[in-house]
């Protein structure tokens, strides 16, 4: 599998950054409008609809229609791990079904002085069987602008106008 990694410093308290990423509201805020994201259903690990937080075992059904072109692309992601401790946290989502045959996204957060270090690590394969696997390293051409935008939006939303 190919990998992608991006790290950013967010000048906001760890607990604020963690809380922002612990719900589908964060996902919706970080997804560009041109993707036309629709979060269709969220189920908690106990089967509860629309849980307040995405815990390990939560299941997210969503679809996108980039630029409003073509049919909606449906996908299901499952939170397979979630740990939150003193000044550090992580969660992992795995695509159960969707456009990528393999997608495992680990989000890590570390308190760093008055701010937070945010680290995204993605392991993935592109569609297309053997050919897709062979060219998967080129996937960073699409992942880089997407994650750069997500990190920039995180900073804009959480750092605010407080002079940080």
As a whole-number percent, the residues of the chain with pLDDT over 70 amount to 98
Q: What CATH code is carried by the domain that includes residue 117?
A: 3.30.530.20
Question: Is position 38 within any domain?
Answer: yes
Q: pTM for this structure?
A: 0.91
Determine, yes or no, domain membership for 114: yes
* 67 domain residue, yes or no: yes
Rounded CA separation 77/61 (Å): 7
Task: Count each helix (H run) and each strand (E run) in the chain, helices first.
Answer: 4, 7
Number of domains forming the structure of the chain: 1
Tell me: pLDDT of 163 over 50. Answer: no
CB-count exposure of residue 161 (10 Å: 0-12, 13-18, 19+): exposed
Asked, for residue 163, whether it belongs to a domain, the answer is no
Domain enclosing residue 60, as ranges: 2-157
**Mean pLDDT for the chain?**
93
What's the 3-state SS for 81-94? EEEEECCEEEEEEE
pLDDT tens-digit readout, 87-116: 999 999 999 999 999 999 999 999 999 999
Structure confidence at residue 164 (pLDDT): 45
SS3 134: helix
CB-based contacts of 42-45 (< 8 A; 24+ apart in sequence): none
* Between 48 and 139, the higher pLDDT residue: 48
| pLDDT, average across residues 118-134 | 90
The answer to whether residue 162 sits within a structural domain is: no
């Amino acid at each position: 599998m190919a990998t992608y990694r991006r790290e950013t410093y967010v000048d906001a308290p760890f607990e604020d950054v963690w809380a922002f990423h612990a719900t589908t509201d964060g996902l919706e805020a970080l997804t560009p409008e041109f993707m036309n994201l629709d979060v269709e259903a969220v189920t908690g690990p106990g089967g509860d609809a629309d849980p307040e937080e995405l815990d390990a075992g939560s299941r997210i059904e969503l679809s996108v229609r980039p630029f409003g072109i073509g049919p909606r692309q449906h996908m299901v992601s499952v939170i397979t791990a979630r740990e939150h401790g003193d000044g550090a946290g992580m969660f992992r989502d795995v695509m159960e079904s969707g456009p990528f045959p393999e997608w495992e996204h680990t989000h890590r957060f570390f308190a760093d002085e008055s701010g937070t270090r945010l680290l995204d690590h993605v392991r993935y394969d592109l569609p297309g069987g053997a050919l897709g696997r062979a060219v998967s390293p080129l996937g960073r051409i699409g992942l880089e602008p997407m994650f750069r935008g997500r990190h920039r939006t995180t900073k804009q939303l959480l750092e605010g106008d407080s002079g940080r």
